[in-house]
Structure 1
Amino acid sequence: MGNNPLGTFLPLILLVVVFYFLLIRPQRKRQQEALQMQSSLAPGARVVTTTGLFATVVGFEDDDVLLEIAPGVQTKWLKGAIGRVVTPTEDATEELADDNPVADGPDTTDGDDSSTKQS
């Protein structure tokens, strides 16, 4: 009985093709976009590192980038650690979040406010 070798390997070939289009190709595209973004960085750009640190690009040294994380405070990072460039709208959202007051401590009220009770 002649088994068709193409019929035997067709599911495996389809699996490899699906694997390529669902996993490998999108990952390569993301890597290329990240490399392009990192190579197009310029001083003054607001960025977010892969660890979530917001900073401003100050300068470059070989494969490193100098980031200003606070006025007068500069740190050296690898270009690969830059996760994304922050747009002005995202930057404004960050500043609004920083303006929210933080509670000084736990709420010390006992919840039994007699002035709000009605007789």
Structure 2
Amino acid sequence: MDIAVFFPFLLLIGVMFFMTRSAKNRQRQALQMRESMQPGTGVRTIGGLYGLVKEVREDTILLEIEPGVHAVYAKNAVGAVLEDDEYERIVNGETLSKGDAPVVPDDASSLTSETSEAGVDLEKQADADAKADGERGSGSAS
């Protein structure tokens, strides 16, 4: 028999081996992550709920969702164990310094004023745009 006949089967077996190996590695990492949970750890469930671990049981955990509000979740429902600073940033909101905060106008009047913050005269710019559009459009056939 020729080895070329067995090559596709060997290739398929090799691919299956590497796929199962990577899946087992992901399962092992998820198990390690779930085992690292301790009371006081912030977590995110696979459904997107953030909570603070209050108690770790054999197959479940007790999460504090809000102060005084507790819920029991399966350990398998935990999608990520978060670092303390990341959990605080997500739950309590990120604080931006004054220079980092985006400038958002309270109303549309700043968008329609004669000059923008950059010092561009918006009315003159609109007139120039209209004139340029008219010059480009005058060459069309009627």
The question of 1:11 aligning with 2:8 is answered: yes
Q: What is the 5 A alignment of 1:64-79?
A: 64-79=60-75
Partner in structure 2 of residue 34 of structure 1: 30
- Separation in 1, partners of 2:37, 2:63: 11
For residue 66 of structure 1, report the CA deviation from its aligned partner. Answer: 0.8
Shift in Å, 1:54 = 1.6
Note the C-alpha offset of 1:47: 1.0
The letter for the 2-side match of 1:11 is P
Moved over 6 A (4+): none
For 1:29-68, what aligned pairs fall within 5 Å after superposition?
A: 29-68=25-64
Gaps of 5+ in 2: 97-105, 125-142
Counterpart Cα distance in 1 of 2:28 and 2:53: 21
The change in CA–CA distance for 1:115 and 1:13 in structure 2 (over 3 A counts) is closer
Q: Distance in 1 between the 2:9 and 2:28 partners? A: 29
User: Taking CA–CA contacts closer than 8 Å with sequence separation of 6 or more, which of the two structures ends up with the larger relative contact order?
Assistant: 1
Deviations 1:12-69 (A, max 9, x none): 1122212321x21111111011112222321111111112222110113442211011
Partner secondary structure for residue 108 of structure 2? coil
TM-score by length of 1: 0.72
* Equivalent AA in structure 2 for residue 15 of structure 1: L
Report the residue type matching 1:79 in the other structure.
K
Greater gyration radius: 2
Secondary structure of 1:55's counterpart equals strand
Q: How far apart are 1:83 and its partner, in Å?
A: 1.2
Tell me what 2:81 maps to.
85
Number of equivalences: 110
Q: What is the distance in 1 between the residues matched to 2:57 and 2:84?
A: 26
Instruction: Supply the distance in 1 between the matched residues of 2:95 and 2:66 (Cα, whole angstroms).
Output: 16
Tell me how far apart the structure 2 counterparts of residues 14 and 77 of structure 1 sit (CA, whole Å). Answer: 42
Distance 2:40 2:78 in 1: 14
CA distance in 1, matches of 2:38, 2:89: 22
Identity %: 32
